[in-house]
Chain A
Amino acid sequence: MCGHCGCSGDKARLSTPGSEIHRHLRHEGDSLQLQQALLAGNDELARQNRDWLTAHGITCINLMGTPGAGKTRLLEATFTHVNASRQAGAGWPPMAVLEGDQHTQNDARRIQACGGRVVQINTGTGCHLDAHMIQAGLATLAAPDGALVLVENVGNLVCPALFDLGEQHRVAMMAVTDGDDKPEKYPHLFAGCGLAIINKADLLPYLEVDLDSIKSALRRLNPHVQILVLSAQSGEGLNAWYDWLLSTRP
């Protein structure tokens, strides 16, 4: 059996060196059998990004989540904390942000106001970031070697899951206001992340949300996922997030 297309390889096959395309002579009809990953173009750019990041000792974190999960708020809190810790003499790696949104520079301005190095990527009609945008974004961002680069993906729980950016870590974020069943409704994104953040914990007393059922849904989709419950607004639980950020360093 042919390892590429699974058809019986008892007759000869034709291929060109360096190409995964091949033609089986036994196929009578005029058709070409191939085995091409549709997103191979994106995946190749993602591989280049990953190599480039590794060569520069840069850690890249892809932060994905619902619109309104509080991704930008979390980044604001993070920069404020990091700047204050630095002033107090604590060591933090250089940090920078790639902000993904369909339109506006609003989020980038918010990060900048907190003293963060940031580049805005507007996707126009696009509903996710892809490896090509990240490649261009990283070039413009020019983060120093050893930096932590946080990518805030377009607020969307479906499309970003499919696109490898070349990041080393994937974080999926939701808020307690999103409802208990978000992970089950959008399984791919939560199944593919290393860390899941449940934000807006300060609102728990006012909502009928079953935190345990969210957590067990997350573990069903992703038995090895790390889960953080926090509030970017009140600061509750943020120390665990900072510890996690520092733990991603090579």
Chain B
Amino acid sequence: MHELSVVRALLTRLKPYQHREIRRITVEVGTMSCVDGERLQFCFDMVKEEAGLSGAELVIQVVPARAECRHCGRHFTPDKAGDACPCSSHDYTLTSGRQLLLTEIGFG
């Protein structure tokens, strides 16, 4: 379960701000990042107390994928990896959907 590694990375990122009471942590998770939101939440809840974040809530914003087709130039939204462009080409670049970002820390 690599989501636990992701949570550990998140805790490292939060360390510098823990002299204050953290209430809300917002992360952006792309649908193509290969991180599962529910498992991420589960792993966070598992370790938050131990990390001194028992009062904190993790808000996961799932970001849909965006793609630009190399064949027809169209911008479209694939639902999942391997989906084709409306022109039926599979040759496209993901312009969004791979991100795994800490975007906001809310303090108490």
Which of A's residues lie within 8 Å of B, judged by CB? 5, 29-42, 126-128, 130, 158-159, 161-163, 183-184, 187-188, 191, 217, 219-221, 223-224
Residue pair B9, A39 in contact (C-beta under 8 Å): yes
Interface of A is mostly: mixed
Residue pair B103, A38 in contact (C-beta under 8 Å): no
Cβ contacts under 8 Å, A5 to chain B:
103
Question: Within the assembled complex, what's the spacing in Å between the Cα atoms of A130 and B35?
Answer: 16
Residue pair A32, B90 in contact (C-beta under 8 Å): no
Cβ contacts under 8 Å, B9 to chain A:
38-42
Residue pair A35, B81 in contact (C-beta under 8 Å): no
Question: Within the assembled complex, what's the spacing in Å between the Cα atoms of A130 and B5?
Answer: 10
- Top 10 nearest A-B pairs (CB, nearest first) are A187-B81, A159-B2, A188-B34, A31-B106, A223-B91, A36-B102, A221-B82, A32-B105, A30-B107, A220-B82
Question: Within the assembled complex, what's the spacing in Å between the Cα atoms of A235 and B2?
Answer: 34
Question: Within the assembled complex, what's the spacing in Å between the Cα atoms of A21 and B98?
Answer: 21
Interface of B is mostly: mixed
Q: Which of A32, A37, A187 contacts B17 (CB 8 A)?
A: A32
**Residue B74 at the A interface, CB < 8 A?**
no
**Residue B56 at the A interface, CB < 8 A?**
no
Besides A38-B102, A161-B34, A162-B6, 13 more A-B contacts (Cβ < 8 Å) are: A31-B106, A32-B105, A33-B104, A35-B103, A40-B9, A41-B9, A130-B5, A159-B1, A162-B2, A220-B84, A221-B82, A223-B89, A224-B91
Q: Which of A29, A35, A158, A184 contacts B34 (CB 8 A)?
A: A158
Question: Within the assembled complex, what's the spacing in Å between the Cα atoms of A184 and B103?
Answer: 31
Residue pair A188, B104 in contact (C-beta under 8 Å): no
